[in-house]
A and B are shown apart, each in its own frame.
Chain A
Amino acid sequence: MWHALLALAFHEYALAALVYLAYLVWPWKPFPAIGRVLVGSGLVLHGIALAAQGVPQGLIQGLSALSFLLLLLQLALDLRYRMPVIGAFLTPIVVAVLVPSVLLHGSAPTLPNSVRRPLLPLHISIALLGMAAFAVATGVAVMYLLLDRQMKGKRFGMLFSRLPSLGFLDELNRRLVVWGFIALSVTLITGAYFASGIHGAVWVWQSKEIATLVAWALFAGLLTARVFAGWQGRRVAMLTMAGFCLLLVSFFSHYPLPYDVGLR
Chain B
Amino acid sequence: MTELLCLGLSHQTAPVAVRVQLALAPEQQEQLLRQLSTHRAEAMLVSTCNRVEFYLVAVDVQQAKTAVVDEISARAGAAATAHIYEHHGDAALVHLFRVSSSLDSMVVGEAQILGQVKDAFELAQRVGAAGGELTRVCSAAFAAAKRVRSETGIGRAPVSMASAAVELAEKVFGGLTGKSVMMVGAGEIAELTVKHLRSAGASEIIIANRTQQRAEALAADLGAVAKPFEALPMLLVNADVVITSTASPTPLFTPESVGPALKSRRFRPLFMLDIAVPRDIAPEINQLAGVYAYDVDDIEKVVADNSAARGAEADKAEALIAEEIAKFVRTRSVRDGVPVLALLRARADQIARAELEKTLSHLGEGLSEKQRRSIEAMAIAIINKLLHQPTAKLREASLEEGISRLAGAAAELFGLEETPSPSDPAATAQPGRPR
Any chain A CB within 8 A of the CB of B170?
yes
Any chain B CB within 8 A of the CB of A92?
no
Any chain B CB within 8 A of the CB of A152?
yes
With a cutoff of 8 Å between Cβ atoms, the chain A residues found around residue B172 in the complex are: 151, 165-167
In the docked arrangement, what's the CA distance between A171 and B269, Å? Answer: 13
With a cutoff of 8 Å between Cβ atoms, the chain B residues found around residue A233 in the complex are: 267, 269, 289-290
Any chain B CB within 8 A of the CB of A235?
yes
Nearest A residue to B304, CB-CB: A156
With a cutoff of 8 Å between Cβ atoms, the chain A residues found around residue B294 in the complex are: 154
In the docked arrangement, what's the CA distance between A17 and B107, Å? Answer: 38
Any chain A CB within 8 A of the CB of B266?
yes
Q: Are B266 and A171 neighbours in the complex by a CB distance under 8 Å?
A: no
Any chain A CB within 8 A of the CB of B229?
no
Any chain A CB within 8 A of the CB of B174?
yes
Nearest B residue to A225, CB-CB: B267
Any chain B CB within 8 A of the CB of A259?
no
Q: Which of B280-324 contact A (CB under 8 A)?
A: 286-287, 289-290, 292, 294, 298, 301-302, 305
Any chain B CB within 8 A of the CB of A1?
no
One of A151, A155, A231 near B267 (C-beta < 8 A):
A231
In the docked arrangement, what's the CA distance between A160 and B171, Å? Answer: 9
Any chain B CB within 8 A of the CB of A253?
no
Q: Which of A147-166 contact B (CB under 8 A)?
A: 147, 151-152, 154-156, 160-161, 164-166
Any chain A CB within 8 A of the CB of B253?
no
One of A154, A171, A235 near B301 (C-beta < 8 A):
A154
Any chain A CB within 8 A of the CB of B268?
yes
Distance in Å: Cβ of B302 to nearest Cβ of chain A:
6
Any chain B CB within 8 A of the CB of A234?
yes
How many residues on chain A are close to B (CB under 8 Å)? Answer: 21
Nearest A residue to B172, CB-CB: A166
User: Contacts A156-B305, A229-B266, A231-B267: A151 and B171 contacting too (C-beta < 8 A)?
Assistant: yes
With a cutoff of 8 Å between Cβ atoms, the chain A residues found around residue B286 in the complex are: 152
With a cutoff of 8 Å between Cβ atoms, the chain A residues found around residue B267 in the complex are: 229-233, 235
A231-248 to B contact mask, C-beta < 8 Å, 1/0: 111110000000000000
With a cutoff of 8 Å between Cβ atoms, the chain B residues found around residue A161 in the complex are: 305
Any chain A CB within 8 A of the CB of B328?
no
With a cutoff of 8 Å between Cβ atoms, the chain A residues found around residue B171 in the complex are: 147, 151, 160, 165-166
Distance in Å: Cβ of B69 to nearest Cβ of chain A:
32
In the docked arrangement, what's the CA distance between A155 and B294, Å? Answer: 12
With a cutoff of 8 Å between Cβ atoms, the chain A residues found around residue B268 in the complex are: 230, 232
In the docked arrangement, what's the CA distance between A171 and B172, Å? Answer: 12
Nearest B residue to A155, CB-CB: B301
Binding site for A on B (CB under 8 A): 168, 170-175, 266-269, 286-287, 289-290, 292, 294, 298, 301-302, 305
Q: Which 6 A-B pairs have the closest CB atoms?
A: A230-B266, A167-B174, A165-B174, A168-B174, A167-B173, A154-B298
23 contacts between A and B (CB under 8 A): A147-B171, A151-B172, A152-B286, A152-B292, A156-B301, A156-B302, A160-B171, A161-B305, A164-B174, A165-B174, A166-B172, A166-B173, A167-B172, A171-B174, A229-B267, A230-B268, A232-B267, A232-B290, A233-B289, A234-B289, A234-B290, A235-B267, A235-B289
